[in-house]
Amino acid sequence: MSTTYDIDTEGRLPALEARDVSVHYGDNEAVKKVSLVVPSKRVVALIGPSGCGKSTLLRCFNRMNDLVPAARVSGEVNFRGQNLYAEEVDPVEVRRRIGMVFQKPNPFPKSIFDNVAFGPRINGYEGDLDALVEESLRQSALWEEVHDRLGDSAYALSGGQQQRLCIARTLAVKPEMVLMDEPASALDPIATQRIEELIYELKKDYTIVIVTHNMQQAARISDYTAFLYMGDLIEYGPTETIFTNPREEQTEAYITGRFG
Amino acid sequence: MSAPEPTFMSTSSPRSIRRRRMGTVFAVLCGAATMVGVVSLAVLLVDVALDGLPRLDIDFLTSFASRLPERSGIKAALVGSVWLLVLTALISFPMSVAAAIYLEEYAPRNWITRIIQTNIANLAGVPSIVYGILGLALFVRFLGFDRSVLSGALTLSLLVMPVIIMAAQEAIKAVPGTIREAAYGLGATRWQVVSTQVLPMALPGILTGTILALSRAVGETAPLIMVGAVGFIAFTPSGPMDRFTVLPLQIYNWVSRPQDEFRALAAAGIVVLLVLLLTMNAIAIVLRNRYQTRS
Amino acid sequence: MRDGVEQVSQEGATLSFRRSRNVKERVIGAGLFACAAVSTLVTVGVVAVLLGETVNFFSQVSIVEFFTGTRWEPMFLEKHFGVLPLLAGSFMVAGGAALIALPVGLLTAIFLSEYASQGLRKTLKPVLEILAGIPTVVYGYFALTFVTPVIRTFFPETDVFNAASASIVVGIMIIPTVSSLSEDALRAVPNALREGAYGLGATRLEVATRVVVPAALSGIFASFILAVSRAIGETMAVTIAAGNLPNMTLNPFESIQTMTAYIVQASLGDTPRGTVVYQTLFAVGMTLFLITLAMNILSQWVLSRFREEYE
């Protein structure tokens, strides 16, 4: 059983629209015909118990699953009206436009500056790199802490700072959408809070889809929430509704902690 | 809302094409580099086989070397190599395994152990000819073993010991700590734990490493030249103090002669040597696979 | 009463049992330590032997001449003991070999680590290992009977014994050293870094060359140094292919003599103990030993000092 509410895209073209997306690993179907609409400049949270397919689904949105030889993706993912999985689409370009922040901070073993500058450099950026790096670090609320030591190794930063660096790195290539795969799960509560505040700020300019196993987090920062279970989309709608008045029994059971 | 441009994220955008072309060129370059090694090996083996196989026959295997190429054979060299192999194994194996056991199971984590460990790693990288010099001075001259199989075996033992020690250490390290804990918990002494639990489990890995190290020794020439193995031996050793020759040395001797017939002899000798090495390596691999699947 | 007696005798038996176990354990421990210590003795022995005769050598030949002289003619009537031609020979062969093996080995490592599938890697790695296991005499034969004729068809002026042939063959020989160690270094780079780069819109080429290789650089450099060290220590292939003519030249098509080839030549001849020629063996051996030792230590230092911590 599955319920999807009408998503109010407020007159704008939805950032992303998934239609009957399925992912197979060999015989195992990790994601089963999921359809949902991601409105522009909003935060959508994907929640569900471990192994329910939410990370796998997220990785369909920027074709990261292409890198796993065993994975087979079917269905459509329409980004600004164009199907990402169409023949003539270059996955490398997709990933520049749809950025990703990972669960464990993974800065490159380079300086702070070079980490943020990496994306623009490989994409042929010819403008003022210093200004771009500063802008990205300001956007990820890290500038104040590192502006005088941009040449230091990224590994000198704390976990929370590294994650904000990764966010700055992602923003530096000016994506339109940012995917976040449990970005705060490896961080302490204070760092987590800073990341959440950051997401709240970022949604003014970016569309964000975030996978989280932390329900309170989803309730705090997202506008829309999708609940997945065993590869199926069980319920998808405005966050408030999902958390206070879910229609599906399974949703309610998960929300109230009866399983997961 | 405006529709996306036709080249939006498209594979046919100029940037996309350029990057993909560079990527393909690089991938091909890497593949070609890999092929250099593979093709070189193939060419080498084919060259040797073409030169050597015609000359290979029973007479070749059972005759001694001679000034006349038609009557030359590698009997002395083959038997000498086997003698050397066995003797080297007997000398080097126990000491190496003992050293590895000490380093992994007994040695405290202090600077002495660290020095021993670094020292062994350094010894593994010393050119084989330096071991020959040591062997000449120590075994041939100082200890007076003269140009015997024993001198050769001792010299080669020094050469392979660091390699065997390192391989044995790896094998011992691979034994799970839980096994040791269980044995200690039952009141076993350290030696009992090692001899009844750790060593049996590590043995296949140790043997594999040993065989591989010994196969290196079988191919060594320079150190043996230095301790006096020579090419003109017309007998097989009957004791460790006898003079001797080995396959690689005989091959070197023949290669050094300008006449074409000796070239063919050299190639045939190489074929025999390679077959010997292949057998040893095959045994090592079979051992490794068999015990890997078991555990 | 009876129990008490039994108890005492049991305890007594246990104690003596433990004591004899202790002695046995100590003896075994000492024996094992002795075996491990033999390795240190070997190094001491090498240094002592080399040093002893080298000192004797330098009592008869000036150090200055040895290290700066450009003629190496220890067995002629008019003797010259300048080691530079031998050094030049060794380094030329090693340099040429490095020219081949370092790029080819690194690209091979990148291929195996970043491009090849599991199955392909499983087939290719053993092949490269075989390449490493072929005895050096065989490479010498190959150089003399195949490589040199090929070179001479393109460059007819080439000597029968030439440095180029030896370089090529030694280069092939050390490819596996470079590729295997470099590949280990590349594969040690965590996948999370690759994912991060892909996520930013990088192509496989960019991920490999701008993220993975820079991250593995210390391991790659260490493999380079180790490979060159092996090339310098290489004996039979160069003895057979490059010749026995000490020659201070940069021309790879001429005959030369390396340090290792000289040592072989000197020991094949009649070298009675106590003669200067006998001592040259050790002096040259010492030089060779110190050079390769320095390189091996350098390689280990590079590995430890610049090892990346992939936090």
Percent of chain A whose predicted confidence (pLDDT) is above 90: 68
pLDDT digits (tens, 9 = 90+) for B53-84: 988 888 888 888 787 878 888 888 899 999 99
Token digits for A243?
Answer: 């958390």
Residues 6+ apart with CB under 8 A from C198: A64, A67, A95, C207
Q: What is the pLDDT of residue B243?
A: 85
- Residue C82 is predicted with a pLDDT of 87
Q: Is the pLDDT of residue C309 over 60?
A: no
Q: Is B5 on the interface with A (CB under 8 A)?
A: no
pLDDT reported for residue C6: 42
- What was the pLDDT predicted at A72? 92
Q: In the structure, what pLDDT confidence band is assigned to residue B126 with cuts at 50, 70 and 90? A: very high
Residue labelled with tokens 């057979």: C240
Q: Which of B36, B255, B281 sits opposite C144 (nearest CB)?
A: B255
Smallest Cβ–Cβ distance between C292 and the set B20, B125, B263 belongs to: B125
Contacts of B15 in chain A (CB under 8 A): 93, 124
Taking 90 as the threshold, does the pLDDT of residue B160 lie above it? Answer: yes
**C-alpha angle C100/C105/C109, rounded to 5°?**
160
Average pLDDT, chain C: 88
Q: Which amino acid is at C152?
A: R
Region B285-291 average pLDDT:
81
| Residues above pLDDT 70, as percent of chain C | 92
Confidence of residue B2 (pLDDT cuts 50, 70, 90): very low
Among C114, C139, C235, whose Cβ lies nearest the Cβ of B129?
Answer: C235
Percentage of residues in chain B having pLDDT higher than 70: 95
| Residue bearing tokens 């150190």 | B223
> With 70 as the cut, is the pLDDT of residue C18 above it?
no
Chain C interface test: which of A108, A125, A155, A174 (most C C-beta within 10 Å): A108
Angle at B190 between CA B187 and CA B196, to 5 degrees: 85
pLDDT of residue A18: 92
Mean pLDDT of A14-26: 90
- pLDDT given for residue C234 in this prediction: 93
Give chain B positions within 8 Å (CB) of C131: 37, 40-41
Spatial separation of the C-alpha atoms in residues A18 and A35, rounded to whole Å: 5
State whether the Cα torsion A43-A102-C121-C171 is positive or negative: positive
Type of residue numbered A173? V
Report the chain C residue with the minimal C-alpha distance to residue A162: C311
Q: Are A93 and B10 a contacting pair at CB < 8 A?
A: yes
pLDDT tens-digit readout, C87-146: 999 999 999 999 999 999 999 999 999 999 889 999 998 899 889 999 999 999 999 999
CA distance B173 to B164: 14
Interval B149-172 mean pLDDT: 94
Task: Mark residue A40 as left, alpha or beta (left: phi above 0; alpha: psi -120 to 50; beta: remaining).
Answer: beta
Average pLDDT, chain B: 88
ipTM: 0.90
- How far apart CA B105 and CA C284 sit, in angstroms, is 40
For the stretch B92-102, pLDDT in tens is: 999 999 999 99
Half-sphere exposure of A141 (CA within 13 A, CB side): 15
Q: List, for residues C201-239, the tens digit of each pLDDT value.
A: 999 999 999 999 999 999 999 999 999 999 999 999 999
- Is residue B238 exposed (0-12), middle (13-18) or buried (19+ Cβ within 10 Å)? exposed
Question: B60 with B52: CB under 8 angstroms?
Answer: no
Per residue in C142-173, pLDDT tens? 999 999 999 999 998 888 899 999 999 999 99
Question: Which site among C141, C168, C181 would you substitute to test the B interface, given the most B Cβ atoms closer than 10 Å to its Cβ?
Answer: C141
pLDDT confidence bin for A27, thresholds 50/70/90: confident
CB C144 within 8 A of CB C239: no
Q: Which of A68, C183, C107, C204 is CA-nearest to residue B24?
A: C204
Average pLDDT for B248-266: 89
pLDDT band at C310 (very low <50, low <70, confident <90, very high): low
- Which of B152-166, B242-256, C17-31 has the lowest average pLDDT? C17-31
Among A75-84, B226-235, C160-169, name the one with the lowest average pLDDT: B226-235
**What percentage of chain A exceeds 70 in pLDDT?**
98
Under the banding of pLDDT at 50, 70 and 90, the label for residue A116 is very high
Q: What is the mean pLDDT of residues A52-56?
A: 90
Phi and psi angles of residue B160, each rounded to the nearest 5 degrees, phi first: -90, -15
pLDDT at B139 > cutoff 50: yes
| β-pair partners for A101 | A180
As a whole-number percent, the residues of chain C with pLDDT over 90 amount to 57
CA dihedral B276, B278, B284, B286 (to 10 degrees): -120
pTM: 0.88
Looking at chain A, which runs of residues are DSSP E strands?
3-4, 16-25, 28-38, 43-47, 71-79, 82-83, 98-101, 177-181, 207-211, 224-229, 232-238
The pairing of strands A3-4 and A98-101 is unpaired
Helix (H, G, I), strand (E, B) or coil at A58: helix
- How far, in Å, CA of C196 to CA of A206, rounded? 19
Strand partners, A236: A4, A226
What percentage of chain B reaches a pLDDT higher than 90?
46
Taking 70 as the threshold, does the pLDDT of residue B5 lie above it? no
Q: Any chain A CB within 8 A of the CB of B197? A: no
Upper half-sphere CA count for residue C228 (Cβ side, 13 Å): 21
Could you write out the three-class secondary structure of B241-295? CCCCCCHHHHHHHHHCCCCHHHHHHHHHHHHHHHHHHHHHHHHHHHHHHHHHHHC
Judged on CB neighbours under 10 Å (0-12, 13-18, 19+), A103 is middle
**Among candidates A117, A124, A107, A202, which has minimal Cα distance to A159?**
A107
Q: Which residues contact C44 (CB under 8 A, 6 or more apart)?
A: none
> If pLDDT is split at 50, 70 and 90, which confidence band does A226 have?
very high
Q: What's residue A260's pLDDT?
A: 61
> Parallel, antiparallel, or unpaired: how do β-strands A207-211 and A43-47 relate?
parallel
State residue C9's pLDDT score: 47
Name the nearest CA neighbour of B113 among C37, C26, C294. Answer: C37
A133: CB partners within 8 A, 6+ apart: A113, A116, A117, A150, A168, A172
Confidence check: pLDDT of A211 > 60: yes
Alpha-carbon gap: C103 to the closest alpha carbon of chain A (Å): 24
Q: How far is CA C243 from the centre of its chain?
A: 21
